[in-house]
Amino acid sequence: MLPLLHAEMAGGQAVGFPKRLVTVAFGHGVCGPYFWPQGDQIVIGPNSSQTLSPLASWSSKMLMIGGLDNKVYIDHNLHYAGHTCYPGLFSGTLKGDNSIDQAVADGLKAKGVNKAGLHLVLGVDPDGNSISYKAGGQINTPETDPWALFKRIFSSYSLPPDTLAKIKAHKQSMLDYLGKDLEAFGARLGTEDRVKIQAHLQSIRDLEMQLQASTGGGPTCAAPMIGSSKSIDVPTRSSLMFQLLGAAMRCDLTRVASMTIQDDHGRFNYRFPWLNVSDDYHPLAHDGAGGYEKKVKIDTWMFQQVAALVKDLDGSVEGTATALDNSVIVVASNMADGKAHTVGGLPFVLIGSCGGAIKANGRCLKLGKWAGKKSNWMDDGGVPVNHLLASLSNAMDLPEVAGFGDKAYAGTLDGVLG
């Protein structure tokens, strides 16, 4: 595949290639002893960080961060709200007021970047949950249908220009009409109801921007073949969704994405038959050490999904670096450990250096109360996740911020940005 853009090199990093951010999460936490390294370096092996084994080949491009808390939840007496804390995980606010992916997407739009798939909100089996939220706290519903995603991202490329122009004209006049219809309809409504119409109107505007950004004229890079069978199980859907995400990033159709792999809000009867784990996930996660053997299998599967994306991006050369080097994939869970549901001491793994902005070089940063400790994964770390989110925003070259999310937790992380 040809590089998309001409690149110049500066200081060992490709210049001219876009930076990309992906947030990924799954529910029920990790098994601390099988996840965190003992020291300050990531060592993935039979007796260390086994959960991360699918990522073993990329450990030198990773950064683990221990000691981060969903602090706004803890300070609202929601220390054990692991199952319902997704709104805070990537927004640093109580109600999901603007998650980092949304903020970065908005920041890129403000810089004039517009693409049909600029911001992808995806999921594999999120059960109505999401890690992505708009400013004001409205949930961004994850797309879980690979064919609908394919259509949105890739199908316009195969259309002749005049056909595409016709479709765009039809959709545009429809969106114009709907905007006017909604404005008239909402004019008399009360405050709370007007919020609903405003959200509807905003979604029309978002679709309009996507439409304007979609261009035809043949593919600039290869779209993945995803087949057409609509009846698929979770592992197949996961594979397709991550393939499409990787292709969208390699083809520079997407700069920012969120992926909610799995979340069941702690409901009963979630299982992993494809891993030969027939137990109910919730009680299994609650079982603590007693359930580790099976839970590690599940956690490892989560990272295997991420590893497919990592491999895809790292195989795509961009100048003297790769698409992975120009991206950062941030993987987390909503709780530290399924036993206690605690939203402090959350697992965070970053892969890729975001165009050299992030020092992802095989370290495990242990922050706050975790500093210098070998194994302290069950407690709070004391450092608000907001600091990481602010650093991520700065890594994406948006106007520099001194904090992210709830203002009570302003600050950035030391030692993360290069």
Give me the residues that bind other proteins (CB under 8 A), please: 79-80, 121, 127-128, 134, 138-145, 148, 152, 166, 169-171, 173-174, 176-178, 180-182, 184-197, 199-200, 202-204, 206-207, 210, 268-269, 271, 278-280, 283, 286-287, 339-342
Which residue reads 């909503």 in tokens? 334
Q: How far is the CB of 128 from other proteins (least distance, A)?
A: 5
Our CB check for other proteins shows the closer of 109 and 286 to be: 286
Our CB check for other proteins shows the closer of 33 and 137 to be: 137
> Whole-angstrom Cα distance, residue 70 to residue 381?
10
> Whole-angstrom Cα distance, residue 347 to residue 344?
9
Check residue 410 and report its DSSP letter. -
Our CB check for other proteins shows the closer of 142 and 403 to be: 142
Three-state SS at 286: helix
From residue 332, give the alpha-carbon distance in Å to each of 45, 69, 192, 258, 307: 21, 11, 34, 11, 14
345: tokens are: 């001491």
Q: How far is the CB of 376 from other proteins (least distance, A)?
A: 17
AA identity, residue 335: M
Our CB check for other proteins shows the closer of 201 and 358 to be: 201
> Whole-angstrom Cα distance, residue 233 to residue 64?
31
Q: How far is the CB of 171 from other proteins (least distance, A)?
A: 8
Our CB check for other proteins shows the closer of 6 and 188 to be: 188
From residue 154, give the alpha-carbon distance in Å to each of 146, 241, 247, 252, 282: 11, 13, 10, 12, 37
Our CB check for other proteins shows the closer of 72 and 416 to be: 72
| DSSP run (H or E) holding 65 | strand 62-69
Angle, vertex CA 254, rays to CA 250 and CA 256, nearest 5: 115
Our CB check for other proteins shows the closer of 195 and 398 to be: 195
Q: How far is the CB of 411 from other proteins (least distance, A)?
A: 27
* Residue 348 bridge partners (DSSP): 65, 332
Q: Could you count the other beta carbons within 10 Å of the beta carbon of residue 15? A: 12
> Is the distance from CB of 401 to CB of 394 less than 8 angstroms?
yes
Q: How far is the CB of 270 from other proteins (least distance, A)?
A: 8
> Whole-angstrom Cα distance, residue 388 to residue 384?
8
Sign of CA dihedral 213, 351, 414, 12: negative
Q: Comparing C-alpha atoms, which of 414, 405, 321, 417 is closest to residue 99? A: 405
Q: How far is the CB of 49 from other proteins (least distance, A)?
A: 25
Our CB check for other proteins shows the closer of 199 and 222 to be: 199
283: tokens are: 């009680």
> Whole-angstrom Cα distance, residue 357 to residue 383?
21
Q: Comparing C-alpha atoms, which of 303, 368, 301 is closest to residue 331? A: 303
> Whole-angstrom Cα distance, residue 36 to residue 347?
8
Q: How far is the CB of 289 from other proteins (least distance, A)?
A: 13
Q: How far is the CB of 119 from other proteins (least distance, A)?
A: 9
Q: How far is the CB of 120 from other proteins (least distance, A)?
A: 10
> Is the distance from CB of 286 to CB of 292 less than 8 angstroms?
no
Our CB check for other proteins shows the closer of 264 and 312 to be: 264
Q: How far is the CB of 340 from other proteins (least distance, A)?
A: 5
Our CB check for other proteins shows the closer of 33 and 288 to be: 288
